[in-house]
Structure 1
Amino acid sequence: MVSKALRLLSLLGDRPGGIALSELSRVAGYPTSTTYRLLGTLVREGFARFDDASKRYTLGLKVFELGQRVSHAFGFTGIALPVMQRVSAHTREATLMSVRDDDKQLYVHYVEGPRQVSVIGEPGKHGPLHCTAMGKVLVAYAPAPAREELVATLPLEPLGPNTITDRDAFRAEIDTVRSRGYATADEEHEAGIRAVGVPILDPTGTAIAALSVAAPAFRTPIEDLVGQVPILTEAARELALLLPPRR
């Protein structure tokens, strides 16, 4: 039942405008009675909210409260933002931060670029590891056993026009990222988006997070993004000193 309740929370998170009981039951694949009972518990505990007027359920403030605690515990609140703002002020593009969550990455922070057209990040959302700049550095600088498993088992789904889908080519890409200290993604995750990413390393050389600059492909050649590696690396070193270690 715990896993079912957590699935309902995930589905509510995907629908910030709320969702009716019948629709949530259908999407989750649970009987209406089960969904209603689980939602009742979630509402009582503050993890979900029911609006009497619209008859729709949304996430409750308890989820926000816990999210803020996690953000604070990992040092993402207050510490990362000024550093990332300086990066965006220098590059004039969006700056993003993520951490590895098993075989995905979790976006934890985002600073919008100052230009009219900017890449948009969504903190709290998961993304792929194999076809993003941050994902690649999170794989490349994972502990050796985890790195080997990820390289061997990650689904290489073709999400963008240039996604690496060959296993040997992906392994070679991760080796290259690890040797040069940064990763690029040239329309690999989405058409029209390019990015460069660097790891934020703990004293053992393991990535505790990743930092990237992302830009529209029509405006920024990949070579220009690679030119931002020094400012990104400097920011990553600063954050490595400021952020508490992940346990």
Structure 2
Amino acid sequence: MPPKGSNSVTKTFEMLELLGESPEGISAAQAAEATGYPFSTAYRLLGGLVESGYAGFDARTKIYTLGMEVFRLAQKVAHRQGLSGATKDLLQELTKSTGESSILAVRRGNAALTVLTVDGPQFRTTTDPGDESPLHTSAIGQALLAYDPRVDTTIGALDFVARTPNSITDPAQMRTRLEQIRTDGWAGQSEENDIGMNALAVPVFDLDGTLLASLALAAPVFRRSLDELIEFVPRLNETAALIAARFPR
């Protein structure tokens, strides 16, 4: 991407954004190529981010990644907005009553952003707060996509990349799936996002019908079949209503 700003602060934030878009990390040379900055500038900006804790650096591979300071700030924002702090006890109770991991996510662009997770007693979830999941492969994403008022436009903008052999990669097939989700009121997927995992999600609506978030239960295939997760739909809807009542306005 070409450089968008000229001052050092803008360049630093552009570099931070690039790190956020590079989950596997990047080298200084790759950062320079992506931003259009001279190598020396990219190297200096990355060094400053490492020094302040906003980036990590692997001396062996020469790869830069997001640092824990970014995660700390993200957690503070989530708590301040009430998306995490105000609903954690509800997800804890959901996990306790079902025995499975629970996930709360909101829409961010063409992805589902995980806001909060509560791990089940037997295993931990495959997503963490701050992670993004594809709308077309994850249950939390499909629950958000199904109720998108501009769903056709969104589908046209999605990259239907397969995460597993079970992932839906055909837009027409996805439209059929979304129609079924709207009929059923829940989104279920079996090993479409992660091999060995089943998940089921319901939408979280405000009192006026505005889509706020999606709420999911996830379990390894050897613990719960999708049919078994479907039995928890009433419990999920009950928790979703409680979450909506606490959602920040």
Kindly state the Cα deviation for residue 173 of structure 1 after the two structures are TM-superposed.
0.8
Work out whether 1:202 is the aligned partner of 2:209. Answer: no
* One of 136, 140, 150 as aligned partner of 2:154: 150
State yes or no: 1:214 paired with 2:218.
yes
Match of 2:146 among 140, 144, 166: 140
Deviates more, 1:59-68 or 1:161-170: 59-68
Change (3 A) 1:165 1:63: closer
Please give the TM-score of this superposition, normalised by the length of structure 1: 0.81
CA distance in 2, matches of 1:61, 1:161: 33
For 2:77, the equivalent position in structure 1 comes to 70
Do structure 1's residue 193 and structure 2's residue 197 form an aligned pair? yes
Given that residues 129 and 139 in structure 1 are in contact (C-alpha distance below 8 angstroms), is that contact kept between their aligned partners in structure 2? Answer: yes
Counterpart of 2:129 in 1: which secondary structure? coil
Question: C-alpha distance in 2, partners of 1:138/1:187?
Answer: 18
Find out whether 1:121 has 2:127 as its counterpart: yes
Q: Distance in 1 between matches of 2:54 and 2:223?
A: 42
Quote the residue 1:244 is aligned against: 248
Q: Counterpart amino acid of 1:159? A: R
Task: State the Cα distance separating 1:137 from its structure 2 match.
Answer: 0.8
The 5 A counterparts of 1:158-177 are: 158-177=162-181
Contact 2:112 2:141 in 1 (8 A): yes
Decide which of 45, 48, 53 is 2:54's aligned counterpart: 48
Equivalent of residue 27 in structure 2, options 24, 27, 30: 24
Partners of 2:47 and 2:88 in 1: CA distance = 37
Corresponding position: 1:82 with 2:85: no
Q: Give 1:214 shift.
A: 0.4
Distance 2:48 2:40 in 1: 13
Of all paired residues, the percent bearing the same amino acid is 36
Alignment counterpart, residue 94 of structure 1, candidates 80, 93, 101: 101
Task: Report the alpha carbon displacement of residue 216 of structure 1 after superposing the two structures with TM.
Answer: 0.5
Deviation at 1:160, TM superposition (A): 1.6
* 8 Å contact from structure 1 (residues 192, 217) kept in 2: yes
CA distance in 1 between partners of 2:118 and 2:41 (Å): 40
Report how far residue 102 of structure 1 moved.
0.9
CA contact (8 A) 1:112 1:120 kept: no
Q: Is the 8 A contact 1:99 1:105 kept in 2?
A: yes
Structure 1 unaligned blocks of 5 or more: none
Q: Secondary structure at the match of 1:170?
A: helix
Residue 151 of structure 1: how far off its partner (Å): 2.6
TM-score normalised by length of structure 2: 0.81
Q: Is the 8 A contact 1:199 1:207 kept in 2?
A: yes
1:230 aligns with 2:237: no
Q: CA separation of 1:156/1:64 partners in 2, compared to 1, >3 Å: closer, same or farther?
A: closer
Measure the CA separation in 2 of the matches of 1:158 and 1:188: 8
Secondary structure of 1:215's match? strand
Amino acid aligned to 2:170? D
Distance 1:164 1:77, change over 3 A: closer
User: How far apart are the structure 1 equivalents of 2:188 and 2:156?
Assistant: 20
Give 3-state SS (helix, strand or coil) of 1:158's partner. coil
